[in-house]
């Protein structure tokens, strides 16, 4: 556990949270998932009140699910995969842009991914009754940001044994998941992933224009 100090007293006190913003996000994801799962299993709340469903949103209902859906998952495996990915990707981005920017961007990219999911359902007349949950929209936001800030960073993708540059790995992951959802008939929020990736790319471009020297150095350092 992280230790913090109060300026109002000379006593040291312990905090429930970690010093790392990324570890805190992982902790919150796990706790919220457990709470929502228990409440849903006991019929205290419905899945509609925590997951994004286009038909609800388009009727102006449950709009808060753009936030709650980010911290709910379809099951333990879904949660573990996303938290493992967050543990792998998050620390580097937190180091690059700082804790506050990192948390703000994580939340905003997740919300943007949810909005994009609903918008694509509307434009292409998709399944308006489909639910979307999980941190993957925000995760793809982080991946899109790394794609712009550290395009030549070598990373390992899924079960591929050789490192691939981030500028190829990011769209590659999106394509792999898309193929899996079609060939294996697995329900995957591909449009939410795409929305998150777009959010990350846009924020990365903004940072590169505003902080040219810093982002140039970061790109070279992590090549």
Per-residue pLDDT tens digits for 114-127:
999 999 988 886 67
* Measured distance CA(82)–CA(79) in Å, rounded: 5
Q: Which residues are catalytic?
A: 136, 193
Tell me what percent of the residues of the chain surpass a pLDDT of 70.
88
Local structure of 4: helix, strand or coil: strand
Closest CA to 172 of 149, 203, 197: 197
* Model pTM score: 0.85
How much is the average pLDDT of 173-177?
85
- pLDDT tens digit sequence for 30-52: 999 999 999 999 999 999 999 99
Q: Residue ranges per domain, the chain? A: 21-221
Q: Which numeric CATH code is attached to 21-221? A: 1.20.1540.10
């Amino acid at each position: 556990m992280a230790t913090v100090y109060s300026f109002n007293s000379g006593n040291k006190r312990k905090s429930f949270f970690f010093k790392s913003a990324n570890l805190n996000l992982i902790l919150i994801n796990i706790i919220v998932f457990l709470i929502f799962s228990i409440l849903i299993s006991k019929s205290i709340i419905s899945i509609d009140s925590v997951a994004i469903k286009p038909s609800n949103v388009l009727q102006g209902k449950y709009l808060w699910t753009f936030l709650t859906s980010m911290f709910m998952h379809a099951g333990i495996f879904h949660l573990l995969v996303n938290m493992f990915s967050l543990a792998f990707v998050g620390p580097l981005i937190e180091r690059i842009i700082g804790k506050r920017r990192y948390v703000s961007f994580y939340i905003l990219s997740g919300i943007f991914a949810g909005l994009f999911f609903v918008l694509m359902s509307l434009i292409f007349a998709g399944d308006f009754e489909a639910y979307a949950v999980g941190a993957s929209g925000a995760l793809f936001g982080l991946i899109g940001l790394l794609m712009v800030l550290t395009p030549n960073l070598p990373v390992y993708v899924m079960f591929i044994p050789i490192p691939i540059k981030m500028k190829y790995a990011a769209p590659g992951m999106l394509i792999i998941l898309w193929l899996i959802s079609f060939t294996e008939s697995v329900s995957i929020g591909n449009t939410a992933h795409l929305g998150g990736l777009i959010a990350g790319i846009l924020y990365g471009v903004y940072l590169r224009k505003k902080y040219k020297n810093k982002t140039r150095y970061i790109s070279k350092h992590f090549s």
